[in-house]
């Protein structure tokens, strides 16, 4: 699924710590949720639940990235539905751009996400 996204750069720890399976296609009712403020991951999960969504998984983010490759140039996109431990921290996948390159990276679950981040969510 990572190869399907044709990313310019992939954090090497992703393949070590995330067991990603699939062919790059998942049919789901997804939405990009924007809170427009600093917000912690736990609060995002509570808000998504209140809105009738759940956080997207790593596989769902990768499928989204492959299907909508230009979206991450507009804003970083986070999937909080798959959390892995590594180096004493909890990590999640997110898509972003680094000077016009598409990157697939790891972010800290315990991080307060800035107002520009979007969270990939799946309707329950």
Query: Which tens digit of pLDDT belongs to each residue from 16-72?
Result: 878 766 665 556 789 999 999 999 999 999 999 999 999 999 999 999 999 999 999
Q: What pLDDT was estimated at residue 98?
A: 84
The answer, yes or no, to whether residue 117 has pLDDT greater than 70, is yes
Non-local (6+) Cβ contacts of 14 within 8 A are 2, 20, 93, 104, 106
Which tokens is 19 given?
């067991």
Distance, CA of 84 to CA of 8 (rounded, Å): 23
Q: What is the mean pLDDT of residues 99-116?
A: 94
Mean of per-residue pLDDT scores for the chain: 91
Q: What is the mean pLDDT of residues 97-102?
A: 89
> pLDDT at residue 97 above 80?
yes
Task: Please list, in sequence order, all residues whose beta carbon lies within 8 angstroms of the beta carbon of residue 37, skipping any fewer than 6 positions away.
Answer: 115
What's the pLDDT score for residue 65?
94
**Pairing of β 9-10 and β 102-108:** parallel
Structural contact between residues 77 and 106, judged by C-beta atoms closer than 8 angstroms? no
Checking if the pLDDT of 104 tops 90, the result is: yes
């Amino acid at each position: 699924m990572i190869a399907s996204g044709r990313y310019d750069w992939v954090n090497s720890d992703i393949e070590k710590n995330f067991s990603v399976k699939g062919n790059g296609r998942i049919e789901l009712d997804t939405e990009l949720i924007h809170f427009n403020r600093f917000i912690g991951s736990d609060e995002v999960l509570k808000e998504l639940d209140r809105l009738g969504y759940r956080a997207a998984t790593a596989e769902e983010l990768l499928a989204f990235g492959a299907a909508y490759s230009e979206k991450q140039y507009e804003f970083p996109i986070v999937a909080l539905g798959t959390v892995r431990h590594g180096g004493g921290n909890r990590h999640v996948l997110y898509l972003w751009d680094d000077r016009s390159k598409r990157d697939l990276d790891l972010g800290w679950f315990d991080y307060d996400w800035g107002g520009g981040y979007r969270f990939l969510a799946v309707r329950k």
